[in-house]
Amino acid sequence: MKASTVRSVNCPSCGKAVEWTPESRYRPFCSERCKLIDLGAWATESFRLRAEETELNEEDLRSLGH
């Protein structure tokens, strides 16, 4: 029988090792505090996803129902 191995990841906020198991309530974060720090960074736009802005032509607008 195979021995089960527990995968470990680093907390995105503090870097502490976190076991990837159902018991790790805040995974991939190590704690609620680290989870809330990350959420706050997204809420204040400290973290952003880059997006390209594109101009829509009349055909695009018609296809969207405008």
Provide the CATH number for the domain around residue 50: 3.30.50.10
Q: What domain count does the chain have?
A: 1
Tell me the torsion sign for CA atoms 19, 23, 26, 32. negative
Residue 2 lies in a domain: no
Q: Is the pLDDT of residue 4 over 80?
A: no
pLDDT of residue 2: 56
Q: Find the domain containing 25 and state its range.
A: 8-63
Q: Is the pLDDT of residue 66 over 90?
A: no
Quick check: 2 and 11 in contact, CB under 8 A?
no
Say whether 11 counts as a known binding-site residue. yes
Distance from C-alpha of 47 to C-alpha of 42, rounded to nearest angstrom: 5
Distance from C-alpha of 33 to C-alpha of 38, rounded to nearest angstrom: 9
Say whether 66 counts as a known binding-site residue. no
Residue 1 lies in a domain: no
Q: Is the pLDDT of residue 1 over 50?
A: no
pLDDT of residue 65: 78
**Overall average pLDDT of the 4-16 stretch:** 93
User: What's the pLDDT band for 27 if we cut at 50, 70, 90?
Assistant: very high
Q: Is 18 exposed, middle or buried (0-12, 13-18, 19+ CB in 10 A)?
A: buried
